[in-house]
Structures are given as structure tokens and as C-alpha cells.
């Protein structure tokens, strides 16, 4: 249940409502919205009676929160969550592009790719230092050395960096070096890791489990918000289906549904969905057209020699083309001013 306060409600009236909620044995969570405070009622088993709160001074209305997830829901917080990392913004009004190799392989490899993706217009550099691999015999990532390389990339390019955390043991190291902490598809329901991420002050990028329902995914995000960390970015990366023409099936319908159900930003990863380079661009176009707030794309300058996921990694020039195309699509959908030369062409075509 959400108790919405009048926009003129005083701090004392908010405190009184919080006290009244807690007197009944529930937890009250005040949320500052655009022009008013709302108070979320949590830890209630079953429905809470609204009448006693409705007649309290300063209370405007009571909204029942019908979803199993509370704090991630739009019912709970109608305004979009916007996340800022230095000069980079993730969320409404911005198309954010994260790009880089699947894994950090060396300083030279990371800096070369970072230079390419920055030039093409990426906002954030990605690269795994701890890699979750199906086979124990595959490259497992550079670990701490990889994190240090990511810090160098940030220093040299100015791009914030995102990297995956695999377990609670290495959480502190990843948290120290990363600007955004990624929780991968295989760990979406690692509840100890989610609780740990909930206590972090860094934004968390939560990939959808490869066979998770939307409710399970949003409930996983709920763990992080419930821990006190409200900076969560959701990522759709494809789900496991029967098809063999792609590595996973990109569930694009998740984009509008997540946007409807939650205030959290949603990014699409076409690379892990496709598993094949030639599908990445069409899926990226479609993701932006469907309303994604951004993309995560794997890029490698020598994909044939990549330590992991070379088959789905774009060549730098392909990535530059992708950036141009998706920013045009985003611009059309969001009525952004056309670039002068494109506008002239559009006028001439009329
Ligand atoms: C990755 O982003 O490198 C990764 C392993 O992704 P996923 O968790 O989606 O498989
Ligand atoms: Mn990968």
C-alpha cells in the first residue's frame, strides 16, 4: 500500500503517518517524489486497512500496491528513475550505449577497444574481469589484474566502466574499481549477492536470468532496493528457448512491459541474445525502437582471437555504424532535433 501525502503536507504530518504505520507493526518507507512525499507500507501480510490513514491530516490518497514487487513498481514510484555517473545519465531522455569486449584480455586490448568505442559514441566501457564460463577449462578472466586495467581505461578515456561481480567474496574488489556493478544472468537469483549489492552505493546492472519470468526478475531487483540501493538498471539479454538460429531469444516485449511495471531504466544486450555478429545490429535497432533506454554491445578489434564471445563481437567499424543508426532511430522516436544536414534532406524530400 502507498500512502500519498498532499503536496502541502508538513514534515510533522509525514512523521505522524510513519509512526501510525509502524505502530501497526509494518515498515514505513517515505519516498520523495517530484512535488510530494509518499509513504510505502511494507512487510504487511495481506491487505492493510486504509481507513485509519485516510483520515489523518496531510494524507491525499491511498493506492493499493497490487504487485508482488513493491519498491521497483510504478505503483510505488510513478516517476522514472534516472541514474547519473559523473557526466553520464542513464534513464528517461537519454540513449545510453555501453560497449567493450566480453573479457579484459590485456591492457593493450582494453585500451585499443576503448579508444574505438569512445570515438564511435559509447558512453560507458564494459569488460569482464571475472568471467562466468560454462566450462571450467575456458578462460576465467584476469581477475584483479583486469579490474586494474579497467581503472586505467577510465583514467585514460574518461569513460565510466561496468564489470561483472560473480560472488560475495570478490564483491569489495569489484565495487572498488567499477562505476557500475553488473550481476549476470547466472546470478540473477543469487540472493546473497543481491543483498550485498543492496548495501552498495554503486549502481547495479541486473541482467535477466536466462529463464526468469518478469516477476522473478523484478523481485530480484526488489532485493537490491530493499537493501537500500535504489540505483538499479535492468538488462534484457535474451532468454533460453528451443530455437537454434540464435544463442538466446531476445524478449523485446519485456521492454514495454518493464517500462509499464517499473520506474527502473531498461537496457538491452543484443550481443548475448544473438550470439552471432550479424544479428546484433537488427536486434539493436529493434530494441531502441521498442523503447530501451540503452544498449550493451560487445566489440572486439580482433574477434577471431577473442578469449570469449568473439562470434558475437562487432568489429569497431560495425559498432560505429550501429551507434549512428540507433541514435537516428532514438531521435525520430523522441522528436529530437534532426541534424541540420538530415533536416535539409527531409525538407527537400517533401
Ligand atoms: C557478459 O555480459 O559478459 C555476460 C556474461 O552476460 P550474461 O550474464 O548476459 O551471459
Ligand atoms: Mn560475453
> Taking residues 147-151, what's their average pLDDT?
98
User: Coil, strand or helix: which one is 219?
Assistant: helix
Break the chain into its structural domains and give their ranges.
2-63, 83-348
3-state secondary structure 249-295: ECCCCHHHHHHHHECCCEEECHHHHHCCHHHHHHHHHHHHHCCCCEE
Q: Which residues contact 89 (CB under 8 A, 6 or more apart)?
A: 82, 83, 96
CATH topology (fold) of 2-63: Alpha-Beta Plaits (3.30.70)
**Is residue 89 pLDDT above 70, yes or no?**
yes
* Ligand that lies nearest to the alpha carbon of residue 129, given by its number in the listed order: 1
Q: Is the pLDDT of residue 345 over 70?
A: no
Find the mean pLDDT for residues 110-115: 98
Enter the DSSP assignment of 299. B
Instruction: Report whether residue 102 contacts ligand 1, using a CB cutoff of 6 Å.
Output: yes
Return the ligand number nearest the Cα of 128. 1
What confidence tier does 73 reach under pLDDT thresholds 50, 70, 90? very high
Residue 290 near residue 282, CB atoms below 8 Å: no
247 lines ligand 1 (CB under 6 A): no
CA of 126 to the centre of ligand 1 (A): 11
In angstroms, the CA 105 to CA 95 distance is 28
Q: Are 182 and 162 in contact (CB under 8 A)?
A: yes
C-beta separation of 298 from 309 below 8 A: yes
- Specify the pLDDT at position 340: 52
Q: Over 70: is that where the pLDDT of 221 sits?
A: yes
C-beta 184 within 6 A of ligand 1: yes
Dihedral sign (CA 267, 68, 182, 136): negative
C-alpha 226/C-alpha 27 separation (Å) is 11
Give 22-37 pLDDT, tens digit per residue.
Answer: 999 999 999 988 789 9
The reply to whether ligand 1 has any atom less than 6 angstroms from the CB of 207 is: yes
Ligand 1 centre to CA of 92 (Å) is 24
**pLDDT tier at 350, thresholds 50, 70, 90:** very low
> What pLDDT does residue 291 have?
97
Rounded to 5 degrees, what are φ and ψ at 62?
-120, 130
What kind of fold does domain 83-348 have according to CATH? TIM Barrel (3.20.20)
Judge whether residue 47 has pLDDT over 90.
no
Give per-residue pLDDT as tens, 258-299. Answer: 999 999 999 999 999 999 999 999 999 999 999 999 999 999
- Of 177-191, 235-249, 328-342, least confident by mean pLDDT is 328-342
C-alpha cell at 116: 574505438
Task: Look at 246-255, 292-301, 327-336 and tell me which has the smallest mean pLDDT.
Answer: 327-336
For the chain, what is the mean pLDDT? 94
- The C-alpha cell of 34 is what? 517530484
Cβ pair 181, 175 in contact under 8 A: yes
Give the CA angle between residues 133, 136, 140 to the nearest 5°: 55
For residue 341, the model assigns a pLDDT of 53
Q: Is the pLDDT of residue 141 over 50?
A: yes
Rg (CA), the chain: 22
Query: What's the whole-number mean pLDDT along residues 321-344?
Result: 79
Helices and strands (H, E) in the chain, number of each type: 12, 14
* CB 154 less than 6 A from any atom of ligand 1: no
Please name which ligand lies nearest the alpha carbon of 131: 1
Q: Is the pLDDT at 138 greater than 90, yes or no?
A: yes
Amino acid at each position: 500500500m502507498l500512502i500519498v501525502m498532499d503536496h502541502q503536507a508538513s514534515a510533522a504530518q509525514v512523521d505522524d503517518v510513519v509512526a501510525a504505520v509502524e505502530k501497526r507493526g509494518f515498515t514505513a518507507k517515505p519516498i520523495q517524489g517530484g512535488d510530494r512525499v509518499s509513504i510505502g507500507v511494507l512487510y504487511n501480510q495481506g491487505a492493510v486497512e486504509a481507513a485509519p490513514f485516510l483520515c489523518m491530516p496531510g494524507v491525499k490518497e491511498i493506492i493499493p500496491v497490487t504487485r508482488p514487487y513493491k519498491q521497483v513498481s510504478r505503483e510505488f514510484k510513478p516517476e522514472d528513475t534516472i541514474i547519473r555517473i559523473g557526466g553520464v545519465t542513464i534513464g528517461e531522455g537519454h540513449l545510453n550505449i555501453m560497449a567493450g569486449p566480453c573479457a579484459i584480455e590485456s591492457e593493450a586490448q582494453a585500451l585499443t577497444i576503448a579508444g574505438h568505442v569512445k570515438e564511435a559514441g559509447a558512453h560507458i566501457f564494459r569488460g569482464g574481469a571475472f568471467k562466468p564460463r560454462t566450462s571450467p577449462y575456458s578462460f576465467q578472466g584476469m581477475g584483479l589484474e583486469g579490474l586494474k586495467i579497467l581503472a586505467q581505461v577510465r583514467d585514460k578515456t574518461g569513460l565510466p566502466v561496468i564489470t561483472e561481480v560473480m560472488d560475495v567474496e570478490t564483491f569489495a574488489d569489484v565495487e572498488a574499481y567499477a562505476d557500475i556493478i553488473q550481476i549476470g544472468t547466472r546470478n540473477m537469483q543469487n540472493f546473497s549477492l543481491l543483498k550485498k549489492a543492496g548495501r552498495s552505493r554503486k549502481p547495479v546492472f541486473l541482467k535477466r536470468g536466462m529463464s526468469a519470468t518478469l516477476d522473478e526478475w523484478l523481485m530480484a531487483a526488489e532485493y537490491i532496493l530493499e537493501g537500500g540501493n535504489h540505483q538499479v538498471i535492468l538488462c534484457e539479454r535474451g532468454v533460453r528457448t528451443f530455437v537454434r538460429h540464435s544463442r538466446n531469444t531476445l524478449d523485446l516485449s519485456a521492454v514495454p512491459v518493464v517500462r509499464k511495471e517499473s520506474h527502473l531504466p531498461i537496457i538491452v544486450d543484443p550481443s548475448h541474445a544473438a550470439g552471432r555478429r550479424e544479428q546484433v545490429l537488427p536486434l539493436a535497432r529493434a530494441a531502441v525502437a521498442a523503447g530501451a533506454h540503452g544498449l550493451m554491445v560487445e566489440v572486439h578489434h580482433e574477434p577471431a582471437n577473442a578469449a570469449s564471445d568473439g562470434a558475437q563481437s562487432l568489429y569497431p567499424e560495425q559498432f560505429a555504424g550501429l551507434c549512428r543508426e540507433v541514435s537516428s532511430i532514438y531521435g525520430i522516436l523522441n522528436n529530437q532535433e534532426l541534424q541540420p544536414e538530415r533536416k535539409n534532406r527531409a525538407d527537400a524530400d517533401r
